[in-house]
Amino acid sequence: MRKYLLLLRVLISDSIRGIGGSGELRAGKKRKRPSIFAEKPWLALVISYSVIMVYSSFFGVAMTRTLKLLGMEDQFVSSVAFMIPVITVIFGFMQGISSLYHEDKTEFFLALPIKPGTYVASKLTEAFIYIFVAVASFFLPALLAHAIVAGRTVGFYFLILPFILLNSIAPFAILLIPVFFLMRFTRFARNKDRFQLISNLIFTVVIMAFALTMSRVSSQMGMEQTPGLLIPESVYSPGLRYIPSSLFADLMLRNANSWQSLLYLFLLAAVNMASVAVMLFAASKLYLPGVLGSKGSQAVRVLTEEQIRKALKPRSQTRALISKEWKLLLRSPTFFMQTILSSVIMPVAMILGGIIGGTAGGDAMDSIFADQIAYFQSDAWWRSDLWIVVMVFVAAGVFFGSFNMASSTAISRQGQTFQTTKLIPAAAHRQLIAWVFPGISVSGTLWLLTILVIGTFLKFSPLLILVAAIIGWNSTYMVQMAGICIDMKYPTLNWTRENQAVKNSKSAMIGMFGSMGLAGVFVAFGFLLNSVTNGNSAITSSFLLVLALGLTAFFTWLAQRMASELLERVEI
């Protein structure tokens, strides 16, 4: 146990230390004081997760108040019980592959006087700790806020932490078992990068399809049909019956005011112990052979004469630079998953979450959606509530754009090869366009598709869809320009592994969570101005639009200026 804890401490410290790896560009020979994030890399994690926790608490308060009016407070607990394993599986698959199979120090640790099983257990624990911190950041503040607003008993507060912990261990343990088999016995798994990219895409589609299927089942059958002594009352999501850990966790927390919760806690612990035991057995047989036998290299690609002729064909300079950026972004699954994949998952997850919540809520939720449809078909949204519509679209566009970190890591992804960028005979503004084009195009496309889906469901008028598209495009563009400015200020160039350039780097985290904070600022300014102007919707809306356009123009000008100075002052 002592060696296990010592090794776990070393692994976690090494992982956190990688966050502070800087590699900033220096202008001249002037020495700059190291960033506080370089000296205290854990501070970046604290700040980033604090932002998530603030949003989580707001979400818990808003949802609980809505459900309390309908007399469905327990619906919140059931929804969280179902979402925890979903989030655990999605993030666990990404973190598990990255942490377990992108390890370049395995041979070093195995040479130490420790048992292989100790190293395997430490690696698995390290991978789970990051998953648990992420899951707890998403749901712990929401559950605490729910308990306060709903007036839960004291026992509810004591069971929140076991609810989150034990509801995430079993899904993560079961998830890793097929991963071990794939990495050990398939030829497909020999190429780490290809395995990580394709498997993440497939697994994301499977999870979304499962959530949608559960929502359809919910509309066709009720949990009141569930038999057995262990489930004496109805639960709101039929998906829980297929996830024992979530089912027992849900029943445990909903019965926190009775001794029956201890029975469900015991059953929940038993399910987790069985899952972990099976996972450890599989890991002892499959993990080390799989990770030591995997190869990340690819065969050298040989171009045909036609491909060579096509590659050498004269083309636009801007088009060539944009093509280079796309190839750099998509050359590695790590770059793709850490920059673009989350921005694709977020709108899909939010839409499916609305569908699941709507079907699980029954007639009460149907009436709410009917009221919303009637509202947007009337002229009330632009006569009296235009400022709310503008504020929501501006903040939502910023929030959606914050998950796309393609621009906030554009410089860092180039690594040491960025030093040769100065030699490219292209103007600074052309290179700037190429750096931000992937992020802007992806964010703009996703925003348009999201608005079309939501607008079709809520029957938006064509004018409202056009307003939402334009405002959202401006917001996503603003976020991407702000992101490239941050990356030019704090680039991470001295990296040895690709995930160091895009995962937990200063530019990525500041860009992502700074944008989330900016969305909150827009909301705060909207309510403040509406109060100051005595509810004048036109003035409030105009100010929000002017503020958004002004920030967009400012970040565009700042990015052009910083790009010119950066390309001129970098020493080769």
Question: For the chain, which residues make up each domain, given as ranges?
Answer: 38-102+131-295, 320-342+356-572
Per-residue pLDDT of the chain (572 residues; tens, 9 = 90+): 776 677 667 666 666 555 544 444 444 444 555 555 555 656 666 777 787 788 888 888 888 888 888 777 888 888 888 888 888 887 777 666 666 765 556 556 666 676 777 777 777 888 788 888 888 888 899 899 999 988 888 888 999 999 999 999 999 889 888 878 876 776 555 555 665 666 666 656 655 555 555 455 444 444 444 334 444 444 445 667 778 888 899 889 888 888 888 999 999 999 999 999 998 888 888 777 766 554 444 455 677 888 788 777 777 888 888 888 888 887 776 777 778 877 777 777 666 656 555 554 555 555 555 666 666 666 655 666 788 888 888 988 888 888 888 888 888 888 877 777 777 888 888 889 999 999 899 999 999 988 888 888 777 778 888 888 999 999 999 999 998 998 888 887 787 777 777 776 677 777 777 777 888 888 888 888 888 888 888 888 899 999 999 999 999 999 999 988 888 865 54
Taking the complete model, does pTM exceed 0.85, yes or no? Answer: no
In 3D space, the residue among 274, 233, 273 whose CA is nearest the CA of residue 250 turns out to be 233
Specify the pLDDT at position 255: 86
Q: CA-CA distance, 176 to 193, in Å (whole number)? A: 18
8 Å CB contact between 384 and 470: no
Cα Rg of the chain, angstroms: 25
In 3D space, the residue among 116, 119, 144 whose CA is nearest the CA of residue 53 turns out to be 144
Q: CA-CA distance, 392 to 376, in Å (whole number)? A: 14
- The encoded tokens of residue 489 equal 């200020």
- The encoded tokens of residue 567 equal 């390309």
- The encoded tokens of residue 2 equal 């002592």
Q: CA-CA distance, 249 to 166, in Å (whole number)? A: 8
DSSP for 138-185, written as a single string: HHHHHHHHHHHHHT--HHHHHHHHHHHHHHHHHHHHHHHHHHHHHHHH
Helix (H) or strand (E) holding 272: helix 260-293
8 Å CB contact between 338 and 408: no
Q: What residue type is 394 in one-letter code?
A: V
- The encoded tokens of residue 158 equal 């004591």
DSSP for 287-344, written as a single string: HHHHHHH-B---PPP---HHHHHHHTS---HHHHHHHHHHHHHHS-HHHHIIIIIHHH
Q: Which neighbouring-strand residues pair with 295?
A: 191
Specify the pLDDT at position 297: 43
Q: Is 157 exposed, middle or buried (0-12, 13-18, 19+ CB in 10 A)?
A: middle
8 Å CB contact between 544 and 526: yes
Scan for tokens 């004048």, then name that residue. 536
8 Å CB contact between 150 and 64: yes
Q: CA-CA distance, 391 to 397, in Å (whole number)? A: 10
Specify the pLDDT at position 110: 62
- The encoded tokens of residue 519 equal 């969305």
Scan for tokens 């060539």, then name that residue. 320
DSSP for 479-524, written as a single string: HHHHHHHHHHHS-----SSHHHHHSS-HHHHHHHHHHHHHHHHHHH
Q: What is the largest CA-CA distance in the chain?
A: 76
In 3D space, the residue among 473, 477, 481 whose CA is nearest the CA of residue 450 turns out to be 473
